[in-house]
């Protein structure tokens, strides 16, 4: 990392730690999160710094999902466990009226 961009790397690491995710993976860092982070830190990132954060985020997402795909390459896409009525009821309970 060039010395001129070290602060952007630190900013990205802070934003990355606070990243939202789902059970299926990570979400991109939202514009609202960058704005909220900048206000809390009392910084006013320039356009190139914001572009750098977005680029780092895109690369982070790409690497995460590439690694996730490799980890799951040998796993079956469908459960090997048979779907019994008991399991179905556990997964989809009746809605109460």
**Using one digit for the tens of pLDDT, what is the confidence trace for 2-41?**
788 899 999 999 999 988 887 778 899 999 999 999 999 9
- Beta-bridge partners for 21: 26
In a domain, residue 57? The reply is yes
Q: What is the pLDDT of residues 62-78, one digit of tens each?
A: 998 888 776 555 555 66
Strands (E), the chain: 21-22, 25-26
In a domain, residue 83? The reply is no
In a domain, residue 81? The reply is no
Say what the pTM is.
0.67
In a domain, residue 27? The reply is yes
The structural domain count of the chain equals: 1
Distance CA 69, CA 48 (A): 31
In terms of residue numbers, what domain contains 43?
Answer: 3-71
In a domain, residue 93? The reply is no
- Helix ranges, 4-79 (H): 6-17, 31-41, 47-71
In a domain, residue 26? The reply is yes
């Amino acid at each position: 990392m060039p010395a001129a961009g070290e602060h952007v790397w630190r900013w990205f690491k802070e934003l990355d730690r606070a990243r939202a995710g789902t059970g299926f993976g990570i979400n991109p860092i939202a514009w609202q999160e960058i704005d909220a982070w900048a206000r809390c830190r009392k910084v006013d990132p320039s356009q190139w710094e914001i572009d750098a954060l977005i680029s780092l985020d895109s690369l982070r997402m790409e690497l995460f999902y590439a690694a996730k795909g490799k980890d799951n390459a040998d796993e079956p896409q469908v459960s090997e466990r048979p779907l019994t009525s008991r399991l179905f009821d556990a997964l989809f309970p009746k809605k109460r009226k």
